[in-house]
Amino acid sequence: MTKKRLEYMDMVKGVGILGIVIMHSSTVPLQAIWWISSVAPPLFFLSSGMLIARGGEPGKGWKEILGRKGRSLLLPFLYFSLLYIVRDLLRVLFGISEIGEVWAGVNDLVTLWGSSVLWFLPALFLAESIFIFSRKMFGRRKYAPVWTVLACLVLTFVSFLANSALKPLEGFFLSERLLYASLCLMRTFLRAVYALPFVCAGYFLYEIFRAFWEREKRIPFAGQLVSGIVLFFVGIPFSVANSYFDFRSLSFGDIPVLSYLAAVLSFMGIVLICRSCPSFKPLLFFGKNSLIVMATHIDFYFLYIGLNLANRIDGFIPMGNRVFFFVNVIGVIMILEVFCILAINRFFPFLLGRKRGRRSLDG
């Protein structure tokens, strides 16, 4: 059971990271981007909630919890942020950009706001920590799950109010560097709380249906596959109706609750589909190395290379269409990611918070 579950959850992460690459590639229609943005990033928060439940983390000590999560999330955030800053310094030296980009990178590191896609790592660390704290706080009291869910919902509602109150003050906070840093710091925590319902939902999806996930109750694989497909497609209209949903900019559309619902439905669909299908090695590979893909597909210029090559190929092939262009862009990015993943796991595992040889490439 353990091996199978880890494999299909890695496949789920593989689907999520592929969705994020597609979303950033701008090779699909705007409404498709709206939908992907409301499913792909939340997928990782929902997955983490399920893994928290599976690992029984609320019952562990804080030293163990924070130590492990700090190594796997905050250390990569630190190292990749420093790499981005070094890149920006080189761009300044070559006259490509201004020193302001370097200061922005330092600000994003210190405040945990996160440059580019790196926002995800501190957001996940904080969201998981806040949820586990809430779960521990209510402990084994009567109706503890209900109180935990209510606490997460109240915190999220308050965060939406707080962010709305901050918007009219943006001009004030942008007037000074320290004021801007304080705004980023506040919104770092707000972003994590926005992710809190996803972690909570993932946790209780596993807890409530533990017998199913741990195969004590069996459902035919055909039934899982059909149910997964139905749930996946049922979630789409909710996300499209809400429009754009973006953690990076804290933009959550017209009716944010629809995107929360859409993400949970489509996530469950993806999980059931992956659980009912044989292991697919490319998805496993990219899922197990999703952190690397997340941190490198834009800022290591793989997306830039993919778009440029696809445009050049388009110029030589008159019959090329948007589908062909899409395949070229995504294909080039993922091929480059394979080499990047192999190099980082082999020579620079410290970027992932690991020691060399401690964990295999697929582990």
Contact of 116 with 298, CB cutoff 8 Å:
yes
Q: Which of 246, 243, 229 is nearest to 195 (CA)?
A: 246
How many beta carbons lie within 10 A of that of residue 49, not counting itself?
A: 26
Residue 164: closest CA among 198, 196, 134, 194: 194
User: What is residue 244's predicted lDDT score, i.e. its pLDDT?
Assistant: 78
Answer with the residue of higher pLDDT: 60 or 322.
60
**CA 63 from chain center: how many Å?**
24
- Which pLDDT belongs to residue 119? 97
**Mean pLDDT on 66-77:** 96
Name 246's bridge partners: 251
Whether the Cβ atoms of residue 292 and residue 340 lie closer than 8 Å to each other = yes
Selected residue with higher pLDDT from 30 and 358: 30
Convert the pLDDT of each residue in 79-96 to its tens digit. Answer: 999 999 999 999 999 999
For residue range 113-142, what is the model confidence (pLDDT) as tens digits? 999 999 999 999 999 999 999 999 987 778
Residue 342 scores a pLDDT above 60:
yes
Domain contains 361? no
Mean pLDDT of the chain: 91
Please report the pLDDT score of residue 318 as a whole number. Answer: 60
256-276 average pLDDT score: 93
The contacts of residue 112 (CB under 8 Å, 6+ apart) are 77, 122, 126, 185, 188
Residue 208's pLDDT is what?
Answer: 93
What is residue 166's three-state secondary structure? Answer: helix
Q: Which domain holds residue 260?
A: 2-352
358 domain residue, yes or no: no
**How would you label 140-163 residue by residue, b for 16+ Cβ within 10 Å and e otherwise?**
eeeeeeebbbebbeebbeebeeeb
Q: What is the pLDDT confidence band of residue 3, given thresholds at 50, 70 and 90?
A: very low
Within a domain: 310: yes
Quote the pLDDT of residue 4: 47
Q: What is the mean pLDDT of residues 327-345?
A: 96
Domain presence at residue 223? yes
Nearest CA among 259, 243, 263, 304 for reference residue 87:
304
**Cβ distance 101 to 88 under 8 Å?**
yes
Residue 210 belongs to a domain? yes
What pLDDT, on a 0 to 100 scale, did the predictor assign at position 360? 46
CA–CA distance, 232 with 255 (Å, rounded to integer): 20
pLDDT of residue 41: 94
Q: How far apart are CA 217 and CA 221, in angstroms?
A: 12
146-175: average pLDDT: 94
pLDDT beyond 60 at 363:
no
Q: Which residue has the tokens 């990076």?
A: 248
Residues 107-116 pLDDT 10s? 999 999 999 9
What is the C-alpha to C-alpha distance for residues 177 and 54, in angstroms, rounded to an integer? Answer: 43
Rounded CA-CA distance 160/72 in Å is 28
- Interval 175-213: pLDDT, tens: 999 999 999 999 999 999 999 999 999 999 999 998 888
In a domain, 44, yes or no: yes
List, for residues 204-239, the tens digit of each pLDDT value.
Answer: 999 999 888 887 556 777 888 999 999 999 998 888
Residue with tokens 């394979």: 338
Phi, psi of 246 (to 5 degrees): -140, 115
Question: Which is more confident, 59 or 322?
Answer: 59
Decide if 359 is inside a domain. no
At a CB cut-off of 8 Å and minimum separation 6, what does 63 contact? none
What percentage of residues in the chain have a pLDDT greater than 90? 72
Instruction: Average the pLDDT over 270-290 and give the result.
Output: 94
Q: Provide the whole-model pTM.
A: 0.93
Q: What is the pLDDT of residue 359?
A: 52
User: DSSP secondary-structure letter at 28?
Assistant: S
Between 6 and 234, the more confident residue is 234
Domain count, the chain: 1
Would you say residue 2 has pLDDT above 50?
Answer: no
Q: Decide if 26 contacts 179 (C-beta within 8 A).
A: no
Reply yes or no on whether the pLDDT at 349 is more than 70.
yes
Q: End-to-end alpha-carbon separation of the chain, Å?
A: 16
Specify the pLDDT at position 285. Answer: 97
In a domain, 362, yes or no: no
Six-digit token pair at 72? 């796997």
